[in-house]
């Protein structure tokens, strides 16, 4: 699964919320467990902070589940 998530007017999103909103995890609890187990990479590095602030331009991957999420921010006029 390849997904693009648009932050819109937000500055960042918590990692566990991002996984839940994009469908990479079925629930917040599952998202937190995946993160705790070291199965989530932030820009190629293991991220174990459940509420890490994910910002524009970052890539979240879960190689064991073939998931990639690219975080973008719309150009605001």
Instruction: Look at residue 77 and tell me whether its pLDDT is greater than 70.
Output: no
| pTM, full prediction | 0.88
Q: What is the pLDDT of residue 27?
A: 94
Q: CB under 8 Å to 37, separation ≥6 — which residues?
A: none
Residue 7 burial class via C-beta count within 10 angstroms: exposed 0-12, middle 13-18, buried 19 and up: middle
Choose the CATH number for 2-72 among 3.10.290.10, 3.40.50.300, 3.20.20.70, 3.90.470.10: 3.10.290.10
Which residues does residue 31 pair with via DSSP β-bridges, in sequence order?
none
Q: In the chain, at which residue ranges do the beta strands (DSSP E only) sit?
A: 2-6, 13-14, 41-42, 45-46, 53-54, 59-62, 67-72
Q: For residue range 8-32, list pLDDT tens digits in order.
A: 888 999 999 999 999 999 999 999 9
């Amino acid at each position: 699964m390849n997904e693009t998530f648009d932050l819109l007017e937000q500055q960042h999103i918590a990692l566990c919320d991002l996984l839940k909103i994009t469908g990479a995890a079925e629930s917040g609890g599952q998202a937190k467990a995946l993160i705790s187990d070291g199965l989530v990479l932030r820009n190629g590095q293991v991220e174990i902070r459940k509420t890490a602030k994910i910002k524009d331009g970052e890539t979240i991957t879960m190689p064991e589940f073939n998931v990639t999420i690219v975080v973008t921010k719309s150009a605001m006029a």
